């Protein structure tokens, strides 16, 4: 097979030399025909190394590949082409919590099962050296293989099929070329749309050998979610999970993110109710049979405050300390709650519980 000819960025001639800084920063390869040509064009080329991100911790952004496509035969949500979820905008004015029929619940239950299977697939992949881009590829290919649509893709123009949030990233991290490192933690947030209905769940995983302080953060976040779920049943106010979560995590020295909440899910990716995770919130609504929603606490080691990177998606802790998150899609039944995205007997064990 004939080798690919790479044109010199400076003069256009055949080239083999690569910019070492681009390699280190995981930027797309830039080629030069000689050291002299590289030096002559350095003034122009170095602009490619500039990074306009305001970092709060040690994490650095990698290279983000172009948005992937979904085959025409797969049913898509209303934002798949335009990026704007029109149905959600219309529903906001109504503010009613959907009550789903048995037939609709079967479809949400199946979408949530796909989410669980995809999460387990990602969990098995986690290791030092894996890039979050590779996770995105796996999620995208999984969805296509099941004739499903990855819900995050082009939602308000989000460029990827999954959110991956390592270390100080609170949520909505964009998969990129940065390899996971030994000692990292990483949240993988999967949402899948199938036959007109979304499912949504996420988990935080340990990468290699992780410090005890990070293990405690991850375990506390998971336990706080499960304690909040245990209290869910008809008649409980949607403000109550926040009281339970805050009390549990604050006693262990952690804080609760306030900028992002749990939400209704089903026909729409996000809808009523709103489920804050912090105490003494004033969110309206009472749990009723047929309600479907998520609880998804984001818990920080330090300050509860967050800020966004300049990509307008990636939320990070203001002090650069680590954050963890877990999420389930839940159904209120006549007598309690069903975890639609619950773990299976075949799910990989959560290492921090060992």
Tens of pLDDT, residue by residue, the chain (354 residues) = 334 568 898 898 888 898 888 776 656 668 899 999 999 998 888 877 777 899 999 999 999 999 999 999 999 999 999 999 999 999 887 789 999 999 999 999 999 999 999 999 999 999 999 999 999 999 999 999 999 999 999 999 999 999 999 999 999 999 999 999 999 999 999 999 999 999 999 999 999 999 999 999 999 999 999 999 999 999 999 999 999 999 999 999 999 999 999 999 999 999 999 999 999 999 999 999 999 999 999 999 999 999 999 999 999 999 999 999 999 999 999 999 999 999 999 999 999 997
At 3 the pLDDT is 43
Q: Which of 283, 290, 278 is nearest to 247 (CA)?
A: 278
For residue 181, the 8-state DSSP code is -
Three-state secondary structure call for residue 227: helix
Q: Do residues 68 and 153 make contact, with C-beta atoms less than 8 angstroms apart?
A: yes
At 312 the pLDDT is 94
At 26 the pLDDT is 56
Pairing, β 14-15 against β 315-317:
unpaired
- Backbone angles phi and psi of 90, in degrees to 5: -65, -40
Residue corresponding to tokens 């590949």: 65
Residue corresponding to tokens 């159904």: 331
Q: Do residues 67 and 159 make contact, with C-beta atoms less than 8 angstroms apart?
A: yes
* Angstrom distance (rounded) from CA 17 to CA 30: 8
Q: Residue 273: is the preceding peptide bond cis (ω within 30°)?
A: yes
Cα separation values, 183 from 132, 258, 319, Å: 15, 27, 19
Three-state secondary structure call for residue 286: strand
At 29 the pLDDT is 67
At 1 the pLDDT is 33
Q: Exposed/middle/buried for 226, CB within 10 Å: 0-12, 13-18, 19+? A: middle
Cα 271 to chain centroid distance, Å, stands at: 18
């Amino acid at each position: 097979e004939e080798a690919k000819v790479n044109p010199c960025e400076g003069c256009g001639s055949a080239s083999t030399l690569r910019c070492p800084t681009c390699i280190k920063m995981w930027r797309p390869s830039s080629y030069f025909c000689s050291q002299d040509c590289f030096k002559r064009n350095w003034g122009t080329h170095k602009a490619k190394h500039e990074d306009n991100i305001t970092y709060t911790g040690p994490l650095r952004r990698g290279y983000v590949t172009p948005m992937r496509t979904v085959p025409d035969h797969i049913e898509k949500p209303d934002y798949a082409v335009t990026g704007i979820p029109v149905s959600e905008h219309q529903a906001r004015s109504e503010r009613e919590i959907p009550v789903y029929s048995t037939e609709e619940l079967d479809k949400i239950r199946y979408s949530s099962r796909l989410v669980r299977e995809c999460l387990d697939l990602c969990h098995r992949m986690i290791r030092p050296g894996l890039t979050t881009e590779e996770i995105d590829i796996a999620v995208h290919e999984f969805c296509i293989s099941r004739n499903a649509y990855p819900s995050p893709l082009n939602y308000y123009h989000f460029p990827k099929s999954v959110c991956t949030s390592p270390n100080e990233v609170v949520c909505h991290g964009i998969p990129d070329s940065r390899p996971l490192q030994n000692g990292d933690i990483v949240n993988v947030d999967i949402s899948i749309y199938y036959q007109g209905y979304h499912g949504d769940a996420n988990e935080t995983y340990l990468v290699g050998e992780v410090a005890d302080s990070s293990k405690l953060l991850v375990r506390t976040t998971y336990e706080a979610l499960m304690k909040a779920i245990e209290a869910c049943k008809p008649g409980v106010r949607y403000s109550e999970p926040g009281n339970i979560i805050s009390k549990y995590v604050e006693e262990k020295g952690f804080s609760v993110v306030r900028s992002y909440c749990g939400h209704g899910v089903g026909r729409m990716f996000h809808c009523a109710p709103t489920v804050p995770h912090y105490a003494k919130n004033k969110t309206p609504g009472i749990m009723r049979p047929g309600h479907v929603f998520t609880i998804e606490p984001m818990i920080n080691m330090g300050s509860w405050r967050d800020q966004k990177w300049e990509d307008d998606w990636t939320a990070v802790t203001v002090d650069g300390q680590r954050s963890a998150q877990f999420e389930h899609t839940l159904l209120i039944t006549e007598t309690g709650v069903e975890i639609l995205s619950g773990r299976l007997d075949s799910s990989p064990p959560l290492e921090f519980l060992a």
